A and B are shown apart, each in its own frame.
Chain A
Amino acid sequence: MSSAPEVTIGGLVGTRWKPALSVEVTDGIAIVTFDLPNESVNKLSRAVKDEFVSLVSSLERDTTVHAAVLISGKPDVWIAGADIEEFQELKTATDAERLSRDGQMLLDSVERLRIPIIAAIHGACLGGGLETALACRYRIATDHPKTILGLPEVQLGLIPGAGGTQRLPRKIGLTNALDLILTGKNVRAKKALQLGMIDELVHPSILRSVAITRAHEVAEGRRKSERHQGSVKSFLLDSNPAGRTIVLRKAREQTLAKSRGHYPALIAAIDVIAAGYEKGIAYGYREESRRFGEMAMTDVSKQLIFLFFATNELKKDPGVDPAQYPELPVSSFEPLPVDKIAIIGAGFMGAGIASIAIQHGSLVRLKDADHGRVAKGYAAVRDVLKERLTRKQITRIQYSDYMALLGGTVDYSGFGNVDLVIEAVFEDLAVKHQVLRETEAAIHPSAIFASNTSTIPISLIAQASTRPERVLGMHFFSPVHKMPLLEVIPTPNTHPQVTATTVAYGKKLGKTVIVVNDGPGFYVNRILSPYINEAAILLDQGVAVDIVDKALVDFGFPVGPITLIDEVGLDVATKAGKIMADAFPDRMRPANSIQAVVAAGRYGRKSKKGFYSYDKEGKKGEVDPSVYAVFLAPGSIPVNKSIGPQSSEPAAWPEMPAIQIQQRTVLAMLNEAARCLNDGVIRSPRDGDVGAVFGIGFPPFRGGPFRYMDSLGVKIVVQRLEDLNARFPGRFEPAELLLEMARRNQYFYPDEHG
């Protein structure tokens, strides 16, 4: 065998057909280079799999070859995983099971091949990629930040389907494998070496030559992959059936408690791993395929895969549509470079934005009214970086380099060459107007002014501007370094290049960016507002705080709505609430409970007193029983076992069923989301779904408000809204759009409901 394998799939390059796998044999070693034509990453599609199958059989036959090295032709990717687009074509569980079976058989043939294959890994080695590497006889990876290894399948509601659930625990021990498989997290090559996933770590420049040397050695029996020696603890637990039973039982308990049963793939993964240990590896493989097929058909997986594609689409979305500006040349949609930014307001938001900007190489001018506040901003930035340093996500040198990109000021010095100013001052229109005027006097006329307001319409802010075409909104979510969403809000006057530049910069900061239209609360806060309000109205009616929160955590939100306002701060929430109430008085009139609690000086975590109680460090405890007296008459204070010693007494107020709490709050949100779509606040249901999931934590396994409505059926949504509106006139008036869609039997995603 010399040049190309017999079956080549690959793709056209220019006019030439190029295979994904090319082979070059030198001195008895076959160097197999994986380089998928016309793609930026290597992924495992059916076509690639066919090439692999024929490659393996020719390697099996060709006795002049003693060993093979599998290396990638892509700069930063080894194999990124399976081709997920193919998953969407799977119609039945049997189809999916077969896909998994085929992958398993291929990798089984790799593992049993006459000659050893050495995985020479540089770049991402994920999912099917890692499963391929695990089937190889020896693994070398580069000591490089781009080299990451992991099995992220559960993040798509799936389980590893090509032997990963069986090979990984046997390679690195049950405990470590469970941790990787159940979180789907990546590890760097160094950690992979410690875990025993790889055998060696080398500098990228010698990967190929070391791999060839090892190929000879492994072929001649002079070297082999050693099974990893774990810690004493993992030895005691992982290497005997009794220990494994304990580990698996614990994993099951923790997973159920954490996922609340919303993510079946997690339990399926545990089942499959357990099956392999209990009834042998062949049975384990069979179970893996069967459950993979089952998981691929779950609604959860479909929603998670939708979100995966939606965020990928948004990564490529420039945020402006040139077709809407036929008079402008193409060049005016090109994003401008943003190297230096100014942030006005060194509070929690301003400092949060600064902390991510410096980590992406921007020079930052951080301004506030006095030095004490700027110093607090520095401390907040430091806290973010320090945490990353402690977790070894950044080095000490990176830490000091990032900090050096931050410059504090109390005046407008250093604003002369900023490309973008982000205003994060107090939510007060007069203050924002003053800041805008002062800023425009200090910045270059081409610089962009972005307001990080969460509620004030941008057009109102832009009224004070002498160049409103360079003003827009840039709404980050708190805490900025953790929340993945950014809303960019152009006004009708904003120049498209300003929008394109801001969107591009938001993406550079690692955010998923949705462009939304101006209006009170924009999109995310607008749909959040009626939801929070409804939760607070439930409190007015005597439902216990923790009952409300628990119902919505059970629904799939990361925290309950009352916990959320405690976190955000009741002062902030009520200020925003007032703006929303002014804009939509019929359905967003603030609940008594929040008003009364904030009036009592209880601002939530920041004042260590809110609906919940907090200890000295601000750590959240139980519901503070004293809070009820603030807004309820003594007779209507809820009594249930969670709030006090009166547990033995019968409940004075009938406990509201979770389903009712969920319906009232979530339907209020869904209804408002439909209005936002109808009003053009969001461009598409996709943006609305991504915004709700990444901005609020709307349960990802439900896909987002629009996909959730599709799966309920718009008719049902309307019916429930009408029922509620009958009981609580005004608040639940179904959106026009929903009524019309229900009449016509329509879906938000018609393609998926053919």
Chain B
Amino acid sequence: MATFGNGRRVAIVAGVRTPFAKAGTAFRSISAIDLGKLCVAELLQRTNLDGKEVQALVFGTVIPSVISPNIAREVSLLPLLPKGVQAFSVSRACASANQAITDAADQIALGHLDVAIAGGSESLSNIPILHAQGFADALVLASKAKTLPGRLRALSRIRPKDLIPITPAIAEPSTGETMGESAEKMAKLNAIAREEQDHFALRSHRLAAAGTADGRLTAEIMPVYVPPKFESVLTSDNGIREDTSYEQLAALRPVFDRKYGTVTAGNSSPLTDGGACVLLMSEEKAKAFGYTPLGIIRSYAYAALDPGEQLLQAPVLAAPVALKRAGLTLKDMDLVEMHEAFAAQVLSNLKGFESKWWAERAGFSQPVGEVDRAKLNVMGGSIAIGHPFGATGARITTTLLNELRRRGGQFGLMTVCAAGGMGFAMVVERTR
């Protein structure tokens, strides 16, 4: 099977991200746009690439700023880049950065671009807080009033309950189910025990802590000297708990179903701030510039299912398609990176990979197969590292390719589940 690109192979040259910080901590005063700017500027600095060479910037974010909705354009107006850079923003929930990467890759494959930056960022410390309808109505009326008494009359319509702000919840608009409730439901449907989930979460923290300690994980992380006063610096993810234990995780109470539930804050990914991006080039261009790419995109696929069913199970439908497009099987994969929204979801996805029923639903006669745990999320995942929605896809891409290189592997598979019942899978190949 041919590689994605119909002969114009797309190289991932490099990737950089900010540390991931739990919402409300180190990056609470940095907007998603600024997180994006930080990592894109550092990507250019580290790769020694003259910004003038960049033709496009594609960026993903899940909760966009109401004031500047095209985050990609704002990021692309960095002084390091030419003002003529094309920039657009994409949204595919937690796979937004993946969408940004594949959109840019498509443009390169089509021959429209040679050099692009793709990624995403999210600040869950800075989500828009909305006013209640009554308050908003009164403000609009007051702004239209021509006299001071008229203005006061309009404002006098505000009732105390109108002053309670509305915070957007991470819930499915179509079902009203929160993400946690969906994970809870998946745990029950797929019979994922609490113990299994807690063990998986523990593994995520242990591996991420090891990757941080030995520098493999931090190699792709830029230091962020925290604006505006630069009194502190963050150089690694601050949600990783190297000292956590199974007992501590087991002691946590379920959040979404207090009586029969198994999903806890400990076995879920936390709300996180961060940005991540990768540098994409046509393979020829990368060669012409003298870069040794981290790897090329071998194939990718998206899939979706009814959000009311198993919200985060679509990677199971996307992965076999991506593998088929790559002309490869799970056995060929040297590493697998799976986004960890919840331990329950990862374990459900893994079960789905082994299931004939899910294989048939995806249109295949045989299941994807059993993922060798020694190859899975070898430096932990979103549960420990954190999950800034718009950035995670770019983080996983970089981590997978860097680790493939370290291990001398050739192929890697990544999957990302996303709200709306969507899923993503990509096969990358390390070139020699």
- Residues of B within 8 Å of A407, CB to CB, are 41-42, 45
Q: Is the CB of B41 within 8 A of A404?
A: yes
At the interface, yes or no: A371 with Cβ under 8 Å from chain B?
A: yes
Interface footprint category on B = 20 to 34
- In chain A between 370 and 413, which residues have their CB closer than 8 angstroms to a CB of chain B? 371-372, 374-376, 378-379, 382, 400-405, 407-410, 413
- Residues of B within 8 Å of A414, CB to CB, are 45-46, 48
At the interface, yes or no: A416 with Cβ under 8 Å from chain B?
A: yes
A404-B79, A417-B48 given; A378·B223 CB < 8 A: no
Chain A minimum-CB-distance residue to B33: A400
At the interface, yes or no: B50 with Cβ under 8 Å from chain A?
A: yes
Q: Is the CB of A410 within 8 A of B228?
A: no
Minimum C-beta distance from A347 to chain B (A):
14
In the assembled complex, the Cα of A379 lies from the Cα of B230 at a distance in Å of 5
Q: Is the CB of A379 within 8 A of B233?
A: no
Minimum C-beta distance from A446 to chain B (A):
13
Minimum C-beta distance from B300 to chain A (A):
29
Q: Is the CB of A375 within 8 A of B79?
A: no
Chain A minimum-CB-distance residue to B38: A404
Q: Is the CB of B235 within 8 A of A371?
A: yes
Q: Is the CB of A371 within 8 A of B78?
A: no
In the assembled complex, the Cα of A653 lies from the Cα of B405 at a distance in Å of 78
- In chain B between 19 and 65, which residues have their CB closer than 8 angstroms to a CB of chain A? 34, 37, 41-42, 45-46, 48-51
- Residues of A within 8 Å of B373, CB to CB, are none
Q: Is the CB of A372 within 8 A of B79?
A: no
Chain B minimum-CB-distance residue to A382: B230
A404-B80, A413-B46, A417-B48 given; A371·B230 CB < 8 A: no
At the interface, yes or no: A445 with Cβ under 8 Å from chain B?
A: no
Minimum C-beta distance from B79 to chain A (A):
4
A407-B41, A408-B223, A417-B49 given; A361·B79 CB < 8 A: yes
In the assembled complex, the Cα of A414 lies from the Cα of B228 at a distance in Å of 24
In the assembled complex, the Cα of A416 lies from the Cα of B78 at a distance in Å of 21
Minimum C-beta distance from A351 to chain B (A):
10
In the assembled complex, the Cα of A246 lies from the Cα of B178 at a distance in Å of 74
- Residues of A within 8 Å of B243, CB to CB, are none
At the interface, yes or no: A365 with Cβ under 8 Å from chain B?
A: yes
Q: Is the CB of A371 within 8 A of B233?
A: yes
At the interface, yes or no: B232 with Cβ under 8 Å from chain A?
A: yes
Minimum C-beta distance from B232 to chain A (A):
7
At the interface, yes or no: B231 with Cβ under 8 Å from chain A?
A: yes
- Residues of A within 8 Å of B78, CB to CB, are 401, 404
At the interface, yes or no: A709 with Cβ under 8 Å from chain B?
A: no
At the interface, yes or no: A363 with Cβ under 8 Å from chain B?
A: yes
Q: Is the CB of B230 within 8 A of A378?
A: yes
Minimum C-beta distance from A442 to chain B (A):
10
At the interface, yes or no: B165 with Cβ under 8 Å from chain A?
A: no
In the assembled complex, the Cα of A59 lies from the Cα of B233 at a distance in Å of 69
- Residues of A within 8 Å of B37, CB to CB, are 404
A372-B233, A375-B233 given; A403·B227 CB < 8 A: yes
Q: Is the CB of A410 within 8 A of B48?
A: no
- Residues of A within 8 Å of B225, CB to CB, are 371, 374-375, 378, 408
Interface footprint category on A = 20 to 34
At the interface, yes or no: B407 with Cβ under 8 Å from chain A?
A: no
A363-B45, A414-B45 given; A374·B233 CB < 8 A: yes
- Residues of B within 8 Å of A339, CB to CB, are 50
In the assembled complex, the Cα of A403 lies from the Cα of B50 at a distance in Å of 18
At the interface, yes or no: B161 with Cβ under 8 Å from chain A?
A: no
A363-B45, A414-B46, A417-B49 given; A405·B79 CB < 8 A: yes
- Residues of A within 8 Å of B146, CB to CB, are none
Minimum C-beta distance from A473 to chain B (A):
26
- Residues of B within 8 Å of A410, CB to CB, are 223
Q: Is the CB of A363 within 8 A of B80?
A: yes
Interface 1/0s, chain B 74-114, versus A by CB < 8 A?
00001110000000000000000000000000000000000
In the assembled complex, the Cα of A592 lies from the Cα of B162 at a distance in Å of 75
- Residues of A within 8 Å of B228, CB to CB, are 382
Minimum C-beta distance from A363 to chain B (A):
6
Chain B minimum-CB-distance residue to A339: B50
In the assembled complex, the Cα of A339 lies from the Cα of B235 at a distance in Å of 27
- In chain B between 210 and 242, which residues have their CB closer than 8 angstroms to a CB of chain A? 223, 225, 227-233, 235
Quick one: which of B34, B78, B225 has the most chain A CB within 10 A? Answer: B225
Minimum C-beta distance from A512 to chain B (A):
26
- Residues of A within 8 Å of B232, CB to CB, are 375
Q: Is the CB of B50 within 8 A of A417?
A: yes
Minimum C-beta distance from A702 to chain B (A):
42
Chain A minimum-CB-distance residue to B228: A382
In the assembled complex, the Cα of A363 lies from the Cα of B80 at a distance in Å of 7
- Residues of B within 8 Å of A413, CB to CB, are 45-46
In the assembled complex, the Cα of A372 lies from the Cα of B226 at a distance in Å of 11
Quick one: which of B48, B49, B229, B232 has the most chain A CB within 10 A? Answer: B48
In the assembled complex, the Cα of A371 lies from the Cα of B79 at a distance in Å of 24
Minimum C-beta distance from A388 to chain B (A):
15
- Residues of A within 8 Å of B230, CB to CB, are 375-376, 378-379, 382
Q: Is the CB of B80 within 8 A of A371?
A: no
Q: Is the CB of A375 within 8 A of B231?
A: yes
In the assembled complex, the Cα of A205 lies from the Cα of B338 at a distance in Å of 57
A374 partner, pick from B51, B223, B227, beta carbons under 8 A: B223
Minimum C-beta distance from B62 to chain A (A):
24
Q: Is the CB of B45 within 8 A of A365?
A: yes
Given A376-B230, A382-B229, A404-B80, 16 further pairs, Cβ under 8 A? A365-B45, A374-B233, A378-B225, A378-B230, A382-B228, A401-B79, A403-B227, A404-B78, A407-B45, A408-B225, A413-B46, A414-B45, A414-B46, A415-B48, A417-B49, A417-B50
**A and B contact pairs by CB, cutoff 8 A, 21 listed:** A339-B50, A365-B45, A371-B225, A372-B233, A375-B230, A375-B232, A379-B229, A382-B227, A382-B228, A382-B229, A382-B230, A404-B41, A404-B79, A407-B45, A408-B225, A409-B45, A409-B223, A413-B45, A414-B45, A417-B49, A417-B50
Give 8 nearest A-B pairs by CB, closest first. A416-B48, A417-B48, A378-B230, A414-B45, A407-B45, A379-B230, A378-B225, A401-B79
